Structure 1
Amino acid sequence: MTILDIDVKYTAVATAENGRDGRVASDDGKLDVVVNPPKEMGGSGAGTNPEQLFAAGYSACFQGALGVVARKENVDISGSTVTAKVGIGSNGNGGFGLEVALSAHIPTVDEATALDLLEKAHQVCPYSNATRGNIKVDLAVV
């Protein structure tokens, strides 16, 4: 896989304290959250977790990419939503891996058009480009 150089327009900065059982904050103070492992992984589940943060970022980014594609195709996607489900589990090699299921509800178009838009957005979205070939990402229309 070729690594592409990009023209960086913005850099997000966040710092974690105590890993998955601590706190994460952005340098501008807009994000400051307690993180704890979920109960399913033996944690307290009291705070958010990195997988929820990844799901939030991916769903927002993918919704934005969907809007870019829809505007180029002159398609109205008013009222649409994108949900990201991020799973974490053992990768069988002593480490952990992720998988993602992205589902979109686009009430203004038929299922075939919606799926076409999702496939095109998957080529545009920076999160999709970052994960392509590394983790399983499923797309669905709901």
Structure 2
Amino acid sequence: METNNNTTTKVFTPVEKVLYTGRTHTTGGRDGVSRSDDGKLDIQLTSPGFPGFGTNPEQLFAAGWSACFIGAMRLAAGQQHMKLPEGSYVDAEVDLGSNTNGFQLQARLKIHLPGLDTETAQLLVDAAHKTCPYSKMSRGNIDVNISLV
């Protein structure tokens, strides 16, 4: 971020080449339906904490981020000439809360990398957090806690 005259401006590098575009059509908001243009996603949405049969945006964000983070750790492991251990996982928790500015998200990623020493595991986690697009999107925008379990 750059600061100038008491204002903060986020500086980002624009996408030069689009690798994939996920497209959904959602109706009804948190109590609606969301479908992807390819038909692979077709889900009922339900507001968090209310009865219903659907999922909610916080669960979808947690699923997407944890899947992407595992991919980023796999990439980091490959760059270190090693494989991500079998049985590796990420438990993601995304909280919807509020404060004086309105609604806010916060997140926790709990990462399990069996068989790796703490130093090597932390190296992979740090590298993944730098390259994962979901981590980049959240950095500086929400409170994020990443821990090895």
Please report the TM-score for the alignment, with normalisation by the length of structure 2.
Answer: 0.88
Look up the SS of the partner of 1:55 in the other structure: helix
1:31 is matched with which residue?
41
In structure 2, list runs of 5 or more residues that go unmatched: 1-9
- Give the equivalent residue in structure 1 for 2:7: none
Q: String of CA shifts for 1:31-67, please: whole Å, max 9, x gaps.
A: 000000122xxx2243100000000000000000000
Q: Name which of 122, 125, 129 aligns with 2:132.
A: 125
Identity %: 46
Q: How many residues align?
A: 138
5+ unaligned residues in a row in structure 1: which ranges? none
Q: Cα offset for 1:103?
A: 1.3
Q: Which structure: larger Rg?
A: 2
State yes or no: 1:111 paired with 2:118. Answer: yes
Change beyond 3 A, Cα 1:49–1:67? same
Name the counterpart of 1:10: 20
Secondary structure at 1:16 match in 2 = strand
User: In the TM superposition, what is the alpha-carbon distance from 1:74 to its structure 2 partner?
Assistant: 1.6
Paired letter, 1:38:
P
Give the aligned partner of residue 100 of structure 1: 107
Structure 1 length normalisation: TM-score? 0.92
Distance in 1 between the 2:26 and 2:103 partners?
A: 19
Give matches, 1:52-63, under 5 Å: 52-63=59-70
Deviations 1:89-115 (A, max 9, x none): 01322x211111111111121122111
Which residue identity lines up with residue 35 of structure 1 in the other structure? Answer: L
Deviation readout 1:58-83 (Å, 9 max, x if unpaired): 00000000000010012332221112
| Aligned equivalents of 2:35, 2:99: Cα separation in 1 | 28
